[in-house]
Amino acid sequence: MNRVIKYLATILLMLSGLDLLAQTAIENKESAALLHQNGQIYLVVLVLVTIFAGIIFFLIKLERKINKLEKNLES
């Protein structure tokens, strides 16, 4: 349970700085407005969320496998 809380805290801390980066990264507001008008900005956000969710899922799965191997080595 503590590990889950640590993961959630880490994810929240990582995501808290994203809005700051997004505000400084968009210098050309015309292209952002164009993406928003066409509805393509939602596709971009969906792709980014999917990529980050996949990476997080992979890391959690990998850590579980590593913990299982460590337990097998100890016994």
| Dihedral in degrees, nearest 10, Cα atoms 59, 65, 71, 75 | -160
Confidence of residue 58 (pLDDT cuts 50, 70, 90): very high
pLDDT of residue 44: 85
pLDDT the model gives residue 13: 75
Q: What is the pLDDT of residue 40?
A: 81
Taking residue 60's Cβ as centre, other Cβ atoms within 10 Å add up to 13
pTM (two decimals): 0.52
Instruction: Using the predicted structure, report yes or no on whether residue 38 has a pLDDT greater than 70.
Output: yes
Q: Which residue has the higher pLDDT, 39 or 43?
A: 43
Biggest alpha carbon distance in the chain?
61
